[in-house]
Structure 1
Amino acid sequence: MKQEMKDLGDFPGVVENLSCCFYITQAEEPYELLYANEEMLRLFDCRDFDELYRHVEGNAFHVIAMDDRARVKQEVLHELAERNDRFDHARGHLFTRTSRIRYADVSGHIVKTQAHGKVCYCTLQEIDIPLPGVTVDRDIRDYVISHLDEAIENHWIKVYYQPVIRTLTGELCGMEALARWVDPQIGFLSPASFIPVLEQVRLIHQLDAYVLEEVCHMLRQRLNHNLPITPVSFNLSRYDFDMVDVFHLVEKTRAAYQIPRDALHVEITESALAVNDDAVYRAVDRLRDEGYEIWLDDFGSGYSSLNILKDYTVDLIKLDMGFLRSFTEKSRNIICSVIDMAKELGPKTLVEGVETQEHAEFLASIGCGRQQGYLYGKPQPLVGMLVHIEADARRIEPRKWCHYYDTASITIRQTNRTSALFDLHEDGYLHFLYVNKPYRKQIHALGYSCQDVEDMFNHPKQSDLAHTFREFIDQARQSGKAESFCYVENGDYVNIHLRIVCEMNQHLLIHSELENTSKSAANLQRSKLDDNLRYLYTMFEYISLVDLEHHKVESLYVHDPLFQLEQAAQTGDLHDILLSVSRTYIYEEDQEGYMAFCNPDTIAERIRKSPYGRLEHCFRMRDKQGKYVWQECIVILLNNGREKHTPLLLTATKSIHAPFVLPGSQEA
């Protein structure tokens, strides 16, 4: 229905021919717009009061754009209550009927009328202040709004791509799609010139839908020509969720081009998710449920980062480039903490703003999964970006490797312990994916480089160490648990722990820790090792260190990896561990004697009473072929119970090649 403007005669004391814009509204809810002068109509591009009334939906506070409306309303109502029914200089953005953006200063006061009760008489003065933090010329703003449809139709808006690089391999593992406006009349428009404008007037969904369509079209063309593709991330504005059904838009566009869902990653800014809108929750959850990755953009740029991680499930967090812009010790510590936190919670990590080799090496050292920045390339049209990547001798990561390398990155932790990741192909080729500083230092202390280690493992004629290393890899693969072994290197005793992290595409991802026990204060002192172990290593096949007080068993040397007590001893009581070993490996008729000999409650005292300072026992143990062979076990008390961690036992076991029969038993 046509809305009639109230008669100005109902508002005594108001002068009609004022040169400024003014309007009159109810002083209480619903703040209905009652009157507006000609200047007000011209400012809002309205032909009459009815058009203005419909534009602001009858609510006078709606003359302020949505972004500023709540703030301005709060300021106005507060001042009216505190300043005797007056308010001054409330500033906010306006949007006209034709979607032009204006900035204005509003003042007003309440007056009593006979016809309408209390009303608020307001003056509005346009001022030339840009959006916060953004300098956009008024004419540019108007041009952007009035020419958006034409720019989309004529492809004046181009999609540029910025590379995303896999930290572990240096390969291209993704691209971010970014809009650039190249106008035939005014030339190149920076994103800061048109994206804030389109967000203000709620037209950003048109741009984002266009970028998504262009991305899907590009991917479809490459697939049609059997060219490799890499996942593309595209940005959604928080206003998209108000204007369109985001899930329907993404799914409809993807389906039209038959693009796999894992080729599209949805980037949503931290500020968008901080709104706590039910529509955003539903759309994000549905996108993830259907197989799209959700990336949290600009993480750390606002104040709601941790709440967002609590309230939303995201697949990747993208750290704001501000952390690298000021590359101080404090910022490095923050980045480390965020990366470690993400790995504990589950999301993958990407840091943008990488501009120097120092940035890249630091991020590699802390296990950041992916990197993006000018070091690897600025946003460019697709062809230019791919040429740049090729010129840098970078490959495009095959999609099937995405999960493998993501898993590898998540495995890397900040630690003072040695840590390395190996990649082992089914053809036997093994190489380092990652080595931390403590691991590299230990390798160098043993007289090797990492390249030397790779060469040793991949040499056609394998050394004994390489052969043992591969045997324990097989054992860890079969057991699904960590395995360890010890070897002698230049007079030092080196302990290696192995764990299979992931197996796919005929590759094994192996995590390894290395410890020179001869130099470790946490293990036996070297003097004790020198007197006993050098002899034992030449005579025995299994040597273990047993801490009776803490129920820990550490394997110091295994010549032939039949069984490992150490990993079983990480949890549980020694009685249970020994019982499990007895039932699994010891010949049935020998099990009772084996358990009595190994009884952890009495063994230390029995050794002390022994005239030889040790205990010996023979039993039959199953080998890898399932046959039972005679074994001789010797147990020594190392510290005689006088040190803090007491008592420590050294156990050594060897095969008896000559026939040997226990009294009262039969030879197996």
Structure 2
Amino acid sequence: MELISKFDEALKNGYIKAFYQPLTRTVTGKVCGAEALARWLDPEFGLIPPGEFIGLLEQHGLIHRLDLAMIENVCRFYKKYDCRDMTFSVNLSRIDFKQTDMFSAITDIMKRYDVPVSAIHFEITESTMLADIENTRRLSKQFFDAGFEIWLDDFGSGYSSLSLLRDFRFNVLKMDMSLLKQFDVRSRKIVSSVVNMSKALGIHTLSEGVETEEQLVFLRNIGCEMIQGYYFSRPLCEEDFLAYLKEHAAETCSDRVFWNKAVKVNFLSGYPLMTSHDHSEEDGVFGTAPIALIEYENRKTTFRYVNAAYLSELKKLGYESIEQLDKDVNDENFAYYDRFMGYIEKTICKGGVFKTDSIIGDVVYNFTTELIASSGEKHLIASTVHTISAEHSDYLVLKYSQSLYATYDLVTEITPDKDTAVQIYSNAGFAKVYGTSSLRKGILEFAATEVHPADHERYLEFFDLATLSNGTSDYIQQSFKVRSGSGYKLKNIRISKLENGKYLYTIQSV
């Protein structure tokens, strides 16, 4: 009761302060925000732990005053130090939703300090939401509609109800530190399942209570996006937090938007770049697919994330580390530099999932990429790689056709009488639709999307096979400007006569 009697004085004199615990993006290692936590520094009793006063304030209906004071502390800090690139999460109590019009009170404070809604996020515990579902639903919608983010706090702390994820919208699911306490196989499976579920729902993930490098590596590998805990920093006073930001790189607003789009990739899926026509939806929870995130800017790539399965595939291609690959693919003298950059630029230009077969030495592999996010000249690409084993039915054909890879951009078998086309090989990312749809449809779509507009009509005339079938020549050939990356390059297109009404259609660089 003595603390309650001192509460007004503590608020008035600023004894209750906001301490800031940094949040770190696992993929980049950059600071991506901070949680504001209340600390009571009493001149008589010293530091009073939150556990001693939070519950008392809730019991006496005073917690809303503390939470509003915390928001004002954050807004004052934001304004004073011009924290336009920083975001802060603030906790709201279940009592807040009953004591006052929190929405109006919060927005009034933020308007007074000219703080945008994008700078403040609200953490609400599961117990808060379950205590008064209808009122919480109404207020959370009010906050959402105004542009605020709502984070589900303490998930897995003992109150977990999956119905909340069904019935409410959340921007971030924050896993309780208790899930990492034991950190045994069972705990890791539970955490992996939570991350996998969140990815499926399009919810960002954050884990608190991270204290060891082992926990950090595990969370990063399963795709948990953000972490906080003593491994990086304990909660810091204003002065120490500012010093921390000087020593640790922090995200800009554009960085944050860019990296938040990485949630699209589920590192735990068996098919992380799955498209509707590639696989059924019967996908396992714990996938082992090789997956990497590649950042591309101004013709330079950086592998931001690589899992163990991806590294295993790289070893089959002769690489012992991702650093070695990263060095090679950014070296213009590297034998496969143009090919690799061509894959990346084709992915950026076309969007969607881009697949190609290729070869390094005598190892055949499939390389699949998908554009995940773009911000100006910076792009984020997800990638998988699969080496084709000697037991694979196509292995010998691919292995002993190495010259094919060096010579042609596209090889397709066409049968005009049956209106069919079967793509045999492509190293330039031409869509499969040109090789699996009807021939007539493929000709029209290829002309419309891949051939330079100035060559469009000539290309369609060239594809009149009557000349070839009635003539004495075994092939016809012309040069056309064909899409390459963000531009066009002159390519030789050749149609050669085979047997039984079949033809071989090839594209070759000039």
Question: TM bucket by the smaller chain?
Answer: 0.7 to 0.9
Task: Give the aligned partner of residue 653 of structure 1.
Answer: 506
Q: Could you say if the C-alpha distance between residues 473 and 202 of structure 1 is closer, same or farther in structure 2, counting changes exceeding 3 Å?
A: same
* 1:467 CA displacement: 1.4
Structure 1 range deviating more: 369-378 or 474-483: 474-483
1:125-524, aligned counterparts within 5 Å?
142-223=1-82, 229-388=85-244, 390=246, 393-414=247-268, 415-426=287-298, 428-448=299-319, 449-459=321-331, 461-517=332-388, 519=389, 521-522=391-392, 524=394
**Over the residues paired in the alignment, what is the CA RMSD in angstroms?**
3.1
Q: Could you say if the C-alpha distance between residues 421 and 437 of structure 1 is closer, same or farther in structure 2, counting changes exceeding 3 Å?
A: same
* 1:158 CA displacement: 2.0
Counterpart residue type for residue 410 of structure 2:
Y
1:27-176, aligned counterparts within 5 Å?
142-176=1-35
Could you tell me how far apart the structure 2 residues matched to 1:199 and 1:154 are?
21
1:354-388 per-residue CA deviation (whole Å, 9 max, x = no partner) reads: 01000000001011110011111111212223434
Query: Do 1:162 and 1:175's aligned partners in 2 also have CA atoms closer than 8 Å?
Result: yes
Q: Could you say if the C-alpha distance between residues 499 and 235 of structure 1 is closer, same or farther in structure 2, counting changes exceeding 3 Å?
A: same
* 1:445 CA displacement: 2.2
- Report SS of the residue matched to 1:587: helix
Q: Could you say if the C-alpha distance between residues 627 and 191 of structure 1 is closer, same or farther in structure 2, counting changes exceeding 3 Å?
A: closer
Could you tell me how far apart the structure 1 residues matched to 2:503 and 2:224 are?
42
1:203-237 per-residue CA deviation (whole Å, 9 max, x = no partner) reads: 111111111111111111001xxx66511111100
1:498-647, aligned counterparts within 5 Å?
498-517=369-388, 519=389, 521-522=391-392, 524-526=394-396, 528-531=397-400, 533-534=401-402, 536-537=404-405, 540-543=408-411, 556-558=425-427, 561=428, 564-566=430-432, 573-575=437-439, 578-580=442-444, 584=448, 587-593=459-465, 618=476, 622-624=480-482, 629=492, 631-633=494-496
Q: Could you say if the C-alpha distance between residues 596 and 270 of structure 1 is closer, same or farther in structure 2, counting changes exceeding 3 Å?
A: farther
* 1:627 CA displacement: 7.5
Could you tell me how far apart the structure 2 residues matched to 1:156 and 1:406 are?
36
Q: Could you say if the C-alpha distance between residues 635 and 319 of structure 1 is closer, same or farther in structure 2, counting changes exceeding 3 Å?
A: farther
Task: Give the aligned partner of residue 63 of structure 1.
Answer: none
1:362-416 per-residue CA deviation (whole Å, 9 max, x = no partner) reads: 00101111001111111121222343465xx421222221111111244242132
Task: Give the aligned partner of residue 16 of structure 1.
Answer: none
Query: Do 2:25 and 2:31's aligned partners in 1 also have CA atoms closer than 8 Å?
Result: yes
- Report SS of the residue matched to 1:333: helix
Could you tell me how far apart the structure 2 residues matched to 1:502 and 1:353 are?
29
Counterpart residue type for residue 302 of structure 2:
H
Query: Do 1:632 and 1:654's aligned partners in 2 also have CA atoms closer than 8 Å?
Result: no
- Report SS of the residue matched to 1:396: coil
Structure 1 range deviating more: 445-454 or 579-588: 579-588
Matched-pair identity in %: 29
Which residues of structure 2 form unaligned runs of 5+? 269-286, 415-419, 452-457, 483-487
1:137-193 per-residue CA deviation (whole Å, 9 max, x = no partner) reads: xxxxx1122221111111221221111111111111111111112222333221111
Could you tell me how far apart the structure 2 residues matched to 1:594 and 1:222 are?
74
Could you tell me how far apart the structure 1 residues matched to 2:407 and 2:495 are?
11
Could you tell me how far apart the structure 1 residues matched to 2:338 and 2:384 are?
18
Which residues of structure 1 form unaligned runs of 5+? 1-141, 598-615, 638-648, 658-668
* 1:478 CA displacement: 2.6
Query: Do 1:180 and 1:189's aligned partners in 2 also have CA atoms closer than 8 Å?
Result: yes
Could you tell me how far apart the structure 2 residues matched to 1:185 and 1:552 are?
84
TM-score between the two structures when normalised by the length of structure 2: 0.83
- Report SS of the residue matched to 1:238: coil
Could you tell me how far apart the structure 2 residues matched to 1:283 and 1:412 are?
31
* 1:248 CA displacement: 0.6
Could you tell me how far apart the structure 1 residues matched to 2:255 and 2:355 are?
28
Q: Could you say if the C-alpha distance between residues 538 and 314 of structure 1 is closer, same or farther in structure 2, counting changes exceeding 3 Å?
A: closer
* 1:535 CA displacement: 5.0
Could you tell me how far apart the structure 2 residues matched to 1:656 and 1:365 are?
40
Could you tell me how far apart the structure 1 residues matched to 2:242 and 2:338 are?
42
Query: Do 1:425 and 1:508's aligned partners in 2 also have CA atoms closer than 8 Å?
Result: yes
Could you tell me how far apart the structure 2 residues matched to 1:315 and 1:360 are?
22
1:429-459 per-residue CA deviation (whole Å, 9 max, x = no partner) reads: 2111111112111222222221122222323
* 1:336 CA displacement: 1.0
- Report SS of the residue matched to 1:274: helix
Task: Give the aligned partner of residue 26 of structure 1.
Answer: none
How many residue pairs align between the two structures?
Answer: 468
Larger RCO, structures 1/2 (Cα 8 Å, 6+ apart): 2
Structure 1 range deviating more: 380-389 or 508-517: 380-389
Q: Could you say if the C-alpha distance between residues 535 and 205 of structure 1 is closer, same or farther in structure 2, counting changes exceeding 3 Å?
A: closer
* 1:578 CA displacement: 3.6
Could you tell me how far apart the structure 2 residues matched to 1:552 and 1:275 are?
62
Could you tell me how far apart the structure 1 residues matched to 2:175 and 2:490 are?
58
- Report SS of the residue matched to 2:303: strand
Counterpart residue type for residue 631 of structure 1:
R
Could you tell me how far apart the structure 1 residues matched to 2:178 and 2:233 are?
18
Could you tell me how far apart the structure 2 residues matched to 1:152 and 1:188 are?
15
Could you tell me how far apart the structure 1 residues matched to 2:168 and 2:88 are?
22
TM-score between the two structures when normalised by the length of structure 1: 0.64
Q: Could you say if the C-alpha distance between residues 535 and 295 of structure 1 is closer, same or farther in structure 2, counting changes exceeding 3 Å?
A: closer
Counterpart residue type for residue 124 of structure 2:
I
Could you tell me how far apart the structure 1 residues matched to 2:44 and 2:408 are?
86
Query: Do 1:635 and 1:652's aligned partners in 2 also have CA atoms closer than 8 Å?
Result: no
- Report SS of the residue matched to 1:301: coil
* 1:344 CA displacement: 1.5
Could you tell me how far apart the structure 2 residues matched to 1:272 and 1:280 are?
8
1:536-595 per-residue CA deviation (whole Å, 9 max, x = no partner) reads: 44654423699xxxx99666343xx4x7142656xx744565454575568334545389
- Report SS of the residue matched to 2:157: coil
Q: Could you say if the C-alpha distance between residues 200 and 525 of structure 1 is closer, same or farther in structure 2, counting changes exceeding 3 Å?
A: same
- Report SS of the residue matched to 1:194: helix
1:491-513 per-residue CA deviation (whole Å, 9 max, x = no partner) reads: 12233222221110420111222
Query: Do 1:634 and 1:653's aligned partners in 2 also have CA atoms closer than 8 Å?
Result: no
Query: Do 1:483 and 1:567's aligned partners in 2 also have CA atoms closer than 8 Å?
Result: no
- Report SS of the residue matched to 1:185: coil
* 1:293 CA displacement: 1.0
